[in-house]
Amino acid sequence: MSAQQERTFIALKPDAVQRNLVGEVIRRFEAKGFKLVGLKLVKPSVETAEEHYAEHKGKGFYKGLVDFITSGPVVAMVWQGKGVVASARKLIGATNPLTSEPGTIRGDLAVDVGRNVIHGSDSTDSAQREISLWFKEGEIADWTPVSNAWVYEN
Ligand code: UDP
């Protein structure tokens, strides 16, 4: 797999949809130079939300988190590009928006940890797991952006 084929799972949480931040967040990923290869609006089932956040089961915020994620539509996306997993985490910012740096999505657009607008996979392994949880194979579209030669040196 070439470096440019790395993929990550990004979800815009129900607060992002309700606050009309979908376009703003997608704009930041597009402007960075990453490639959108999967996109859908879904109201996640409790099963999907619980599996997605399985590592947090038993923690105090787990039930509220699952209730929140299943409360409304989520924009589920797959983004592709060189170093996209780590870079997306930087674009997103720290988990608690009060400590996220200005310039990051959470730093600029959110206040409360339980309403922090966006999820991004924390490793390439998590990305693979989350992409296959949220997307079927035929729902991912590979394509070649005409801008590739202007985003990548080689
Ligand atoms: N969360 C919360 N309270 C906490 C910690 C986390 O509501 O004290 C929520 C928050 O929405 C966060 C999600 O649980 O985005 C998953 O937590 P994680 O530590 O994996 O943070 P992330 O990877 O989203 O930055």
User: What is the ipTM, given to two decimal places?
Assistant: 0.98
Considering the entire predicted model, what is its pTM? Answer: 0.98
Beta carbon of 13 within 6 Å of any ligand 1 atom: no
Identify residue 124 by its one-letter amino acid code: T
Could you identify the atom of ligand 1 that is nearest to the CA of residue 55? 20
Question: Per-residue pLDDT tens for 68-112?
Answer: 999 999 999 999 999 999 999 999 999 999 999 999 999 999 999
DSSP secondary structure string, 42-102?
E---HHHHHHHTGGGTTSTTHHHHHHHHTSS-EEEEEEESTTHHHHHHHHH--SSTTTSPB
59 is in an annotated binding site: no
Length of the chain, please?
154
Residue keyed to tokens 């924009």: 75
- Residues 6 or more apart whose CB falls under 8 angstroms from that of 130 comprise 9, 52, 121
Q: Crossing angle of helices 22-32/84-92, nearest 10°?
A: 140
Q: Give the separation between CA 130 and CA 52, rounded to whole angstroms.
A: 7
Question: Per-residue pLDDT tens for 18-73?
Answer: 999 999 999 999 999 999 999 999 999 999 999 999 999 999 999 999 999 999 99
Could you identify the atom of ligand 1 that is nearest to the CA of residue 115? 11
- Cα radius of gyration rounded to whole Å, the chain: 15
Beta carbon of 104 within 6 Å of any ligand 1 atom: no
Distance of CA 133 to the CA centre of its chain: 13
The overall longest dimension of the chain from CA atoms, in Å, is 47
